[in-house]
Amino acid sequence: GNSVTQMEGPVTLSEEAFLTINCTYTATGYPSLFWYVQYPGEGLQLLLKATKADDKGSNKGFEATYRKETTSFHLEKGSVQVSDSAVYFCALRGSSNTGKLIFGQGTTLQVKP
């Protein structure tokens, strides 16, 4: 079945450091891929998405490229801020008609000043 694997956290970085959070997936067909973010005390929010191979999703300085050949959707940011501290979830939506999301286990990012 479909699944998503994320790198384990927590990830601790200094402000302005480069961020990579790895995400790989297993899916049949042509899934859509997402990154969601959960800030402390808040609900899940969509950060970015990509719906087909080689698409790049971007938002708030974050980017991720849909790589079908490596079944990956790694999240990157060139210079993190303290306000980026949150839990990040990689997710996929398969080819079924229901649109349900399958999430990875989440990666906690802590950015120190």
Partner 1 sequence: GAGVSQSPRYKVAKRGQDVALRCDPISGHVSLFWYQQALGQGPEFLTYFQNEAQLDKSGLPSDRFFAERPEGSVSTLKIQRTQQEDSAVYLCASSGLGGRLNEQFFGPGTRLTVL
Q: How far is the CB of 22 from partner 1 (least distance, A)?
A: 15
| Distance, C-alpha 42 to centroid of its chain | 17
Choosing from 17, 67, 101, 110, the residue that interacts with partner 1 (CB under 8 A) is 101
CA distance 101 to 92: 6
**4 binds partner 1 per the rule CB under 8 A:** yes
Q: How far is the CB of 60 from partner 1 (least distance, A)?
A: 15
User: Which residues, in sequence order, are CB contacts of 41 under 8 Å at separation 6+?
Assistant: none
Judged by the rule CB under 8 A, the positions of this chain that interact with partner 1 are 4, 36, 42-46, 49, 89, 91, 93, 96-106
